[in-house]
Chains A and B, each alone.
Chain A
Amino acid sequence: MDTPRTNESNCWACHASLAASPLLCPHCGKVQPSAGINYFQAFAAVTGGQPLLTLDLAALEREFHRLSRKLHPDRFARASEGEQAWSLAATALLNDAYRALKDPVQRTEYLLELKGQGVGEQNAGRNKSADRQPPADLLEEVFELNMQLEELRMNQKMGEDDPALTADLTRAQAHFDGLLAQVDSDLASQAALWDSGDDTARAAALKSMASLLDRRRYLRNLVRDVKDALATPAL
């Protein structure tokens, strides 16, 4: 990230304030350089430029369409090279921001990244093994589940069918699905705390959201594995 842009920036062409619309001058309609603008600022008309986790999705889409009409490279096919480059960068940022903000999980992930609680620095790609560490309270259940999955795969290889095992796994899948739903609901409450709380409450919310997201990633992979295993037909 470049130096974060303050909300008091002004248009390069007419010097109007860009507080409500950092990518596009609300006064003269010129496209602005997008370096240093974060996703929440890009949608300042919806977020007030603040990192809010509770967003009106319909308003987000309307603003996405409104800005797209003005910023898209299609509108700058005959403009100067400089404006074309700004349009490309601004539209890429707008699209990236919309993609992240419209999804509650990605929105939270982005906030954590912004606040320095993200996945951290990457060395040639993301660290995939982190998602494979089971949360402490689930260790036992996960161990049991993995044994059953192993057994199921063996059975499938041998062409055998064990209805009891399949039933166990189907139950386990429902159980973990339930845990996943719980995580999502916990995330929503923490998000509300983040949006309305004081600094102390926000710091706490940030921390719990970081661990909730780890738990969520782990559970999602687990549910996917069980689903895949159950969907594999016996040979």
Chain B
Amino acid sequence: MSENTSIERVVGIDLGTTNSLVAYMQGDQPVVIPGVDGSNLVPSIVALDPVDPAAESSRPTVTVGNTARRSLIATPERAIYSVKRLMGRGLEDVREELKLFPFHLAEDLQPGEVLRIRLGELTFTPPEISAYVLRQLKRNAERYFGSPVTKAVITVPAYFNDAQRQATRDAGRMAGLDVLRLVNEPTAAALAYGLDRAKEGIIAVYDFGGGTFDVSILKLNDGIFEVIATNGDTHLGGDDIDNLLSAVAIDEIFNDHGIDLRQQPDAIQAVRKAVIEAKIALSTQPAALLDLELPGGLRYQREIPRPVYEQLIAGVLARTAAPCRQAMADAGITPDQIDEVVLVGGSTRIPAVRTLVDQLFHLSARGKQPHTDLNPDEVVALGAAVQANILAGSSAVTDDLLLLDVTPLSLGIEALGGVVARIIQRNSTIPASATEHFTTGVDGQTNVAIHVVQGERELASDCRSLARFDLKGIPPMPAGLPRIEVKFLIDANGILQVSAREQRSGQQASIEVKPTYGLTDDQVETMILDSFDNAEADFEQRQLIEARLEAETILAAVAKAPENPAWQLLTPDEVGAIESTARALEAAKLGSDLAIIRLCVTALDQTTRRFAELMMDQAVSSAMRGKTMQVAGDQLHSSDTIHAPHQFAPAEFE
């Protein structure tokens, strides 16, 4: 596994709304690093385990990923998902959002403060929660390599603003990662695709993920990936479809059964889980069934035919069209000039999305098809690994590749009357800079305040406030005489840096930055200490606990395995191997040797691999037979208690 341990590896991380992944370059190919459960995807879910009152430590264990997913329904008040939507945002931004997500903000939250979310008895900022996800990915990579990993490239939505980018970088730092670069997700995807073939021409990346939508137009030229325009919506994704379907189901349940689920977080989560399953099924099947057990022994069943579903989500999908058109307009091109379209993000599996993309970019009309050969869930992480390799300079494969990205939003300063003076236009290649001169309005004035905003609107109050800079230590002079040169520079991460000096006196003016939405360096420092340093003391201990938990999870699954029909298909040798490796893990779990437990977990993982495959085959073939759908349909038909009050058309059966 470790080909070269002397050079420290740089990994690529896709910190997604729904799932997160870590990847690296294995030779000349990027590959995703699986977790201990064998899965490439780590669900971006963080949960607190219930505190054992008898335990010495008062801090509960934090779990991440699939383990945390279970808590989402069992103890929803101790779990959180889709936290990416809250990164770099203020209280007033997320009010609407929180109506749809069953999260609770800290009660003592002050306006202007960075959000804190309540999980059980503790509160966390969004970067802290993301840091737990990142730490899990870091550990997965460390386990895989057998050596420490401290450097990473992390992807962000192209349309992320400065605060959202800073929050992501802060999360990396809290997780103990040196974030060498933030890369835009659609650009990373283009990189993953462009690696195999030396391409030329104009490509569009349509990236419709769990929580964000991006579109980027790139020009490929001899290994240079030059972004010419980007656009998007950082609050548009599969989540919106889930919320919409959940709202409809909750309404229907209320109308049919008089049960109001809105005050029951666990029930909301169960509804959400069911609608997500239905949504996924609807990408490959003509209809899906929502089947929910309600409190009081009642049952909610509803068939959703695909046309009804498509009508329902049309509004959400349509919101991706305007950013695409704007990006093409900004790039100065027409759809017919686009040579290739790359689809990224799980939501691009929806057939209606593909139809929309086809229309937007005139694809089938020109005999073209969008690129979907790489797994849309993995392509961003793969691209991040390529960029990580470029930065590490560690192999000839990526020597000729270079990404030239742009800033998605214009940067401006608030001028007299509250209007915005734009100093760096959107879609400028980054790094980009602008120099502005300021002076004083009053004799002897020693401070000048600058308000920096991001956005395309005319009034500063309609744009995103980035920060207020206070230029201090200006030598006292008559009004208008000082000449303060302020340099604004957007770096390769899309993050703003500001420096200033007074030119007549030659003095370096000091700048005090008050980020509008974000943590100060000191706050980030304490969060590193809070979440990790205290824990570092019992790091070994915690790893052991986690390894035992993993062991229990796997053993529980193995114990139930014989009930599955797939078990019968195993040879006696295979059954014997599973049983003996399971016994070994049972024994190892009782001991406290971390390495041995992990070894046994891996062994059991391997002996059960064929069983897992068989099980999947079974699931696939039973779905193909349509048996489940038919049975479900009959049940629905025989029930008189369900009506479709609105939106969902009445279920029709022949």
List chain A positions with a Cβ less than 8 A from chain B. 65, 68-69, 72-75, 77-78, 88-89, 91-93, 95-96, 98-99, 121-126, 128
Residue-wise interface mask of B (426-440) relative to A, using a CB-CB cutoff of 8 A (1 in contact, 0 not): 001111111011110
Q: Which of A89, A98, A122 contacts B436 (CB under 8 A)?
A: A122
Q: Is the CB of B431 within 8 A of A73?
A: yes
A-B contact pairs, 10 of them (CB 8 A): A65-B224, A69-B224, A69-B402, A74-B387, A78-B393, A95-B429, A99-B432, A122-B437, A125-B419, A128-B415
Q: Mark B392-426, 1 if CB is under 8 A from A, else 0.
A: 11000000101110000000011110011100000
CA distance A210 to B450 in the complex (A): 30
Q: Which residues of A contact B61 (CB under 8 A)?
A: none
Which B residues touch A93, using CB under 8 A? 433
Confirm or deny: B181 has a beta carbon within 8 angstroms of a beta carbon on chain A: yes
Known: A68-B404, A74-B492, A77-B180. Contact between A92 and B433, CB under 8 A? Answer: yes
- How many angstroms from the CA of A78 to the CA of B390 in the assembled complex? 11
Q: Inside 8 A of B428's CB, which chain A residues have their CB?
A: 95, 99
Q: How far is the CB of A59 from chain B (nearest CB, A)?
A: 14
- 10 more contacts with CB within 8 A, not counting A93-B433, A95-B428, are A72-B492, A74-B402, A75-B393, A77-B180, A89-B433, A96-B432, A99-B428, A124-B438, A125-B416, A128-B415
3 smallest beta-carbon distances between A and B, as pairs: A125-B415, A125-B421, A92-B431
Given known A125-B416, A126-B421, contact A98–B431 (CB-CB < 8 A)? no
Residue among B432, B434, B450 with the most chain A CB within 10 A? Answer: B432
Q: Known A69-B224, A74-B403; judge A124-B393 contact (CB<8 A).
A: no
A88 touches B489 (CB 8 A): yes
CA distance A161 to B370 in the complex (A): 44
Q: Is the CB of A74 within 8 A of B390?
A: yes
Min CB distance B458 to A, Å, is 10
Q: Residues of A contacting B489 with CB < 8 Å?
A: 88-89, 92
* Cβ distance B198 to chain A, nearest Cβ, rounded Å: 15
B419 contacts A128, C-beta separation under 8 Å: yes
Residue in B224, B420, B439, B492 whose CB lies within 8 Å of A73:
B492
A-B pair number, CB within 8 angstroms: 86
CB distance from A45 to the nearest CB of B (A): 17
Contact A95/B430 with A74-B403, A121-B437, A124-B438 known, Cβ cut-off 8 Å: yes
Bound-state Cα–Cα, A150 to B123, Å: 56
A23 to chain B, nearest CB (A): 13
Residue of A nearest to B388 (CB): A77
Residues in chain B near residue A65, CB distance under 8 A: 221-222, 224
User: Which residue of chain B is the closest to A1 with respect to CB atoms?
Assistant: B435
Looking at the assembled complex, report how far the CB atom of B326 sits from the nearest CB atom of chain A, in whole angstroms. Answer: 16
Closest residue of chain A to B434, judged by CB? A96
A88 touches B491 (CB 8 A): yes
Answer yes or no: B391 CB below 8 A from chain A CBs.
yes
In the complex where A95-B429, A95-B432 touch, is A72 in contact with B402 (Cβ < 8 A)?
yes
Measured between C-beta atoms, what is the minimum distance from B402 to chain A in Å?
A: 6
A77 & B437 in contact (Cβ 8 Å cutoff): no
| Given A73-B492, A74-B391, A77-B393: A88 touches B431 (CB 8 Å cut-off) | yes
B391 to chain A: which residues have CB within 8 Å?
Answer: 74, 77-78
B421: chain A residues within 8 A (beta carbon): 122, 124-126, 128
**Which residues of chain A are near B402, meaning CB under 8 Å?**
68-69, 72, 74
Inter-chain CA distance A98–B432, complex, in Å, is 11
CA distance A78 to B178 in the complex (A): 12
Taken residue by residue from 450 to 466, chain B's Cβ proximity to chain A (1 for < 8 Å, 0 otherwise) reads as 10000000000000000
* Nearest-CB residue, chain A, relative to B440: A123
Q: Which residues of A contact B180 (CB under 8 A)?
A: 77
Shortest distance from the beta carbon of B493 to any chain A beta carbon, whole Å: 9
Task: Report whether B415 and A124 are in contact in the complex, using a CB–CB cutoff of 8 Å.
Answer: yes
Question: Once bound together, how far apart are the Cα atoms of A73 and B432, in whole Å?
Answer: 12
A124 near B392: Cβ-Cβ < 8 Å: no
Given known A65-B222, A69-B224, A78-B393, contact A126–B415 (CB-CB < 8 A): yes
Most buried by A among B404, B419, B434, B441: B404
Q: Which residues of B are found within 8 Å of A99, using beta-carbon distances?
A: 428-429, 432
Per-residue contact bits, chain B 208-225, to A (CB 8 Å; 1 contact, 0 not) = 000000000000011010
In the complex, are the beta carbons of A78 and B433 less than 8 A apart? no
Q: Which of B402, B419, B483 has the most CB of A within 10 A?
A: B402
Complex CA distance for A124 and B429, rounded to whole angstroms: 24
Selected from B221, B414, B431, B483, the residue in CB contact (under 8 A) with A91 is B431
Residues on B with beta carbons closer than 8 Å to the beta carbon of A98: 429
Query: Separation in Å of the B340 CB from the closest CB of chain A?
Result: 20
Cβ of B413: which chain A residues have Cβ within 8 Å of it?
124-125
- Structural contact, A124 and B416, CB atoms closer than 8 A: yes
Give the residues in chain B near A77, CB-CB below 8 Å. 180-181, 391-393
Return the chain B residue nearest A72 by Cβ: B402
Q: How far is the CA of A89 from the CA of B488 in the complex (A)?
A: 11
Q: Which residues of A contact B433 (CB under 8 A)?
A: 89, 92-93, 96
A121 contacts which chain B residues (CB < 8 A)?
437, 439, 483
Point out the residues of chain B lying under 8 angstroms from A126, CB to CB.
415, 421
The interface residues of chain A lying within 8 Å CB-to-CB of B441 are 123
Residue on A with the closest CB to B424?
A96
Within the assembled complex, what's the spacing in Å between the Cα atoms of A98 and B222?
19
Q: How far is the CB of B82 from chain A (nearest CB, A)?
A: 31
Across-interface contacts of A69 in B (CB, < 8 A)? 224, 400, 402
- A123 and B429 CA atoms in complex are apart in Å by 26
Which of A68, A73, A123, A128 is close to B491, meaning CB atoms less than 8 Å apart? A73
Which A residues touch B403, using CB under 8 A? 74
Report the separation of the CA atoms of residues A54 and B450 in the bound assembly, to the nearest whole angstrom. Answer: 38
Q: Determine which of B420, B438, B492 lies in contact with A88 in the assembled complex, contact meaning CB atoms within 8 Å.
A: B492
Residue of B391, B429, B441 with most partner-chain A CB within 10 A: B429
Q: How far is the CA of A88 from the CA of B491 in the complex (A)?
A: 7
